Structures are given as structure tokens and as C-alpha cells.
Structure 1
Amino acid sequence: MDQAVTYKNNGQINIILNGQKKAVIDAAESEGYNLTIPKADNKHAILQEIESELSSLVGMDEMKRNIKEIYAWLFVNKKREEQGLKAGKQALHMMFKGNPGTGKTTVARLIGKLFHQMNVLSKGHLIEAERADLVGEYIGHTAQKTRDLIKKSIGGILFIDEAYSLARGGEKDFGKEAIDTLVKHMEDKQHEFILILAGYSKEMDHFLSLNPGLQSRFPLVIDFPDYTVEQLMEISNMMMSEREYQFSRDACNKLKDHLMAVKSTTSPSKFSNGRFVRNIIEKSIRSQAMRLLLANQYHREDLVTIQSRDLVLKE
């Protein structure tokens, strides 16, 4: 059977059936038409887009694997629904454990984007909060503040950093009221928003031990390990490239030596990883600008290169 062809007003041809005969193509092209053959939709375009963004994050192999597993489960669940099979929903509340500067907030935003594109979340936005945003000053105030935050998070993600601080004041502290309110809404609205609790690994483990009922409510626990010196150098070079700067060889070696020294003498919980190198870069760029201004040097190579003397390594 010959393939049906429809002509569009803009001079394009839409191919409706497969098996287009060469004669039809030749005739169309001889008349000056552009032939448009619709391509099959890329079913996993969403995952590919997210993977592309994840690839810009250094390390985090376990986290990347977890994200792919979540995608696979959601995708297969939809296929089960299409076949009339049971596809029960699961709570997707999460816990992120790791030191500062390891990418927890960045990953939370990516998850919001992924879930929005897969129609798991209606908006996919991220609401960031900490203890002060939830805990009030009098009885009843905390519950209301917490409910208000949850309301803002509907359709997206509520990300609570240093979540363990909610339990630091003992039984009479209003933080417990915030936890109780969160737990209630995690159940009542478990498919309307996603709660992510984040913080240091040790403190989060202690937090869970004080609230044993919480552990089972967070089926997804993702660890964010500290970066190695090599990974920090990779991150710093990526940050520099994004800003259209580069390190001189001496500056690169000096920064690497400094990172090795700092990591060997600083407690992991007090080292801010990616944030640490970002601060160095931003200070060093300002230092370089001052040097160039005083020297009246504005050649392209001067403008893009951070020299060893430009590095600001002190906190």
C-alpha cells in the first residue's frame, strides 16, 4: 500500500504511514518541498536530560545510581498501569546525609525537576527551610509555622537542612512539635509533596535514634561523601571554566597543596567541600582584578588567568 502524504501550507510534507516510496519522495523534492518524517519520541528524554545535569556533578556515584533507580521504578510503574497491573504508589520522602558543600541542595533541585517532568509532582519547586523556619515561640505557633511551610511545598519539595536541630532541646522544646506536625502531613499528604531531611551523617543517625518512628518514613536514604582532593580540583576547574577563567600552572599546584593540607588538618564535619573551593575562587578573582587594575594590564590572557599570587587561601 502506498504511503499517504499530506501537504502543509508551509511547503512541508507530513508522512503519515511507513513505507514511503522513493518516487513520491523524488516528486516532492522536485517540487521544492521539504520532507518531514516524524521521528519516534525518545521515551527516556527526561532521564537523559537529568543524566546530563548529573554528569556535571563530580563523584556522587551512589546518588546517581539512586536517581536512576527511582526513574526506572516510576517508568516501569506507569507501564504496569498501562497493562492493568497493580502499580501502588510509594512514599518518596528522602534523607540526605553528608557534610556541607557536598551537593545536597543541588541534587534536591534536580529531583524536583525530574519528578515534575514525570508528573509525580505538579510543580517541582524547592522550598528550603531550617529550624528557625519551623519552630515558633509559644505553644501552637510551631505547628502553624510548619503547616504553612508544608502548604507552600505542595506540588514540590520541602528541604529541611540540619534537620537534627529540631530534636536538640529535649522533650519540652518546640522542635518536637515541628517533628510531630511533619510526620502527620507526611502521611496525610504523602503523594502531594516530598520531604527531604538533610544534615551531617552522625547527627542524622542520632536524630533517627531519638525518633525511631521516623526511620521507616524515609525509604530513600542517600549518602553524600566528602570530595577527595582530586575531585575538589576538578570542581574548581569546572567553576573557573564556567566563569571563563583558568589557573596558571603554579596557581593550580599551589591550590592543590593547600587543599591537601587543609583536608589533613580539618575535621570532615567542618570542611565545606565544594563551598570551600568556590569561596577561594571568588576571593581570588577579586584579588586578580585589583592586581590588573593597579598594573593597568588588560590583555585577554591577563584577564582570564588566575596567577599564584592572586590566590586568597585564608578564610
Structure 2
Amino acid sequence: MNITFKNQEEEKEFIKEQIKESAKQTEQNESINQIFHELNSMIGLEKVKDLIYEIYAFLQIEKMRSEVGLKVGAQSFHMLFKGNPGTGKTTVARLVAKLFQKMGLLSKGHLIEVERADLVGEYIGHTAQKTRELVKKAMGGVLFIDEAYSLARGGEKDFGKEAIDCLVKVMEDKKDDLIIILAGYPDEMIDFMETNTGLPSRFPIKIDFRDYDVDELILIANKMVKEREYTLSEAASRKLREILLDEKISEPIFSNARLVRNLIEKSIRHQAVRLMSRQTKLSKQDLMLILPNDMVSAVENGAKNESIIS
């Protein structure tokens, strides 16, 4: 492309703008790479990662098509996340918000996480008001509704139905700068989508978050302790495996990485109590090492019943 400039000043300004645009593009690419690095560093979730990359590739190609004058179709990016607790739904939603902001699909890229109590009011008209306020707060980002199926559990006279109706309208009216993600247990979410005829067609992207297997949970545990500068002894790691296998068999709804986090955090606290009872000087290794008895203490004190959001 040949460009003729009136004078040197005009040429300098043009070069400055080109450099600025190039730097902006480099910064955007680095940010996107960082987001994918964070996504890829998550244990498991291979199908989820593939789908997120598929969406990214689609947006990139749509941008290229637009730049050369080809048709670009309207696309909805509202999503449905189905999975048990602790399978990474909230973390992935947060990364999706960041990715879409970097790609220009969302203006802010923040995540507003809500549940039934945040949406459903106590009298006629209150629910619509609360929903509108939350939508306003979420504009430019992602409105993430966890345990969304609870909106339909109160029967015909419950205000949850009003919240659903409001959301259906919002998804059409505000789709240019808002993405809504509904999340919850797989079976319950399937039933929930049947409560309003307008829901299924408004969620073209459906992502299944499967339970982690025990090997993946052990990797997650090791990652957690490493981030906190602790280590699991080989015996503690074996004990953790036994606990997880038992939980998978005995619990109807397995809480995956949430259970692992609870166990690790409990074990760290019980390691502290154990070390405080020692009369000798503690080495760096002593301060880092988690033993099987620490892990057993975590189970005996009911770590699985604590509610720590992942």
C-alpha cells in the first residue's frame, strides 16, 4: 500500500499510530496467550479446552472475514455448563469473560456470580427489579448463575419463574455486550431447560464438565500444595488416594477438586497443630511436609462437609 504524505509531520504521526497499533496488537496477543496458558494449566478438562479454543478460532476467522468484506453471521455466545461441584465451571467462566474482552466481544470482561437468592424477590415486581439491577452490573461481562435449576423449583406461584422470564428477555435485548452462563448439576440442568420453551434455543453452547478421576485429583492436590510451598509425603499421597476412592464410591454427588481443597487446607492446619507440639527446632522440610496423620485428621474432622467455593 503506497501512502503519500503532505509533509514530514504527517508521516511521523502515521508512523506513531502504526507503532501504537502494533504494540496494542502485541499486548492483546500476549494477554490471550496468558489466558490460554492458564486454561491449559488446569488439570483435565480436555474437551472443555477444545471447545473454548474452537470458539476463539471462530471469532478470529469472523474478524478476518469482516476485514475483507465477507459476510459475518450473528452468533449468540450464551452458555450452559453442566457438571458436579469442583469441576472447574466458575474458573472456566472467568477465563471466558477475560478472553471475550480481549477479543472485543465484551467491553469489560468481568464476571458477576449469582444464585437464586440474588435474583428472586419477595413480592410481585421485586424479582424483575433485582434481575435488572444485576444485569446492569454485569453489562460488558458475564453473568454467571450457579445452580440455575433452583429458579424453577418453587412451583407456579414462586417468583423464580419471573426471574427466568426476565433472563430470557435480557438475553435477546442485551446480547451485544452481555453473556449469560447457567451452571448446575447435569440432570437438574436438563430438567430446568424444559421449564421455559425459550431457554434451549438461547444457549447454543453447552459444555459438560465431567468428574475428575482419582489420578487427576492427585495431580490437583500436588498442584495445590506446591502453590502453598508444602509437599505431600508418599504415604500422605497414598492416604489421599484411599480417601478419594472411598468418597467416589460412597457420595452420591462427588465434589471433586472442592473436596481436595478442603482436605488439603484441613491437613495444613492439622500439620500446624502437630508441629506446635514438638519441642525441637523445626527444619524447612518439617514446615513443608504433610504426613498421613495430618490427612487422616482432616477426614476425621469433616473436611468433606465444609463449603469452600472453588
Contact 2:233 2:292 in 1 (8 A): yes
What is the number of equivalent residue pairs in this alignment? Answer: 276
Range moving further from structure 2, 46-55 or 183-192: 46-55
Q: Secondary structure at the match of 1:291?
A: helix
Which residue, 83, 87, 100 being the options, matches 1:98?
83
Post-superposition Cα deviations, 1:144-176, rounded to whole Å, max 9, x if no partner, equal 000000000000000000000101112211001
Q: What's the offset of the Cα at 1:70?
A: 0.6
Q: What's the offset of the Cα at 1:47?
A: 4.1
Which residue, 266, 287, 310 being the options, matches 1:283?
266
Q: What's the offset of the Cα at 1:213?
A: 1.9
Q: What's the offset of the Cα at 1:94?
A: 0.4
Aligned residue type for 1:295: R
The question of 1:294 aligning with 2:280 is answered no
Q: Secondary structure at the match of 2:277?
A: helix
The question of 1:137 aligning with 2:122 is answered yes
Equivalent-residue separation in structure 2 for 1:282 and 1:241 (angstroms): 13
Which residue, 42, 48, 52 being the options, matches 2:37?
52
Q: What's the offset of the Cα at 1:43?
A: 8.2
Q: What's the offset of the Cα at 1:128?
A: 0.6
| Residue in structure 2 matched with residue 182 of structure 1 by the alignment | 167
- The runs of at least 4 consecutive aligned structure 1 residues that moved more than 6 Å come to none
Equivalent-residue separation in structure 1 for 2:128 and 2:115 (angstroms): 15
The question of 1:303 aligning with 2:290 is answered no
Question: Which structure 2 residues correspond to residues 68-107 of structure 1 after superposition, within 5 A?
Answer: 68-107=53-92
Contact 1:47 1:71 in 2 (8 A): no
Q: What's the offset of the Cα at 1:50?
A: 2.1
- How high is the TM-score relative to the length of structure 2? 0.86
Equivalent-residue separation in structure 2 for 1:289 and 1:75 (angstroms): 50
Aligned residue type for 2:142: I
Q: Secondary structure at the match of 2:202?
A: coil
CA RMSD of superposed structures (Å): 1.6
Equivalent-residue separation in structure 2 for 1:75 and 1:214 (angstroms): 27
The question of 1:218 aligning with 2:203 is answered yes
Q: Matched residues, percent identical?
A: 58
The unaligned stretches of length 5 or more in structure 1 are 1-15, 17-37
Question: Is the helix fraction higher in 1 or 2?
Answer: 2
Contact 1:92 1:218 in 2 (8 A): yes
Q: What's the offset of the Cα at 1:41?
A: 4.8
Contact 1:101 1:272 in 2 (8 A): yes
Aligned residue type for 2:261: R
| Residue in structure 2 matched with residue 19 of structure 1 by the alignment | none
Equivalent-residue separation in structure 1 for 2:247 and 2:26 (angstroms): 50
Question: Which structure 2 residues correspond to residues 179-258 of structure 1 after superposition, within 5 A?
Answer: 179-258=164-243
Range moving further from structure 2, 139-148 or 88-97: 88-97
Post-superposition Cα deviations, 1:204-247, rounded to whole Å, max 9, x if no partner, equal 00011222320010010000000101111000000000000001
Q: Secondary structure at the match of 1:65?
A: helix
Q: Secondary structure at the match of 1:172?
A: coil
Contact 1:142 1:177 in 2 (8 A): yes
Q: Secondary structure at the match of 1:120?
A: coil
| Residue in structure 2 matched with residue 24 of structure 1 by the alignment | none
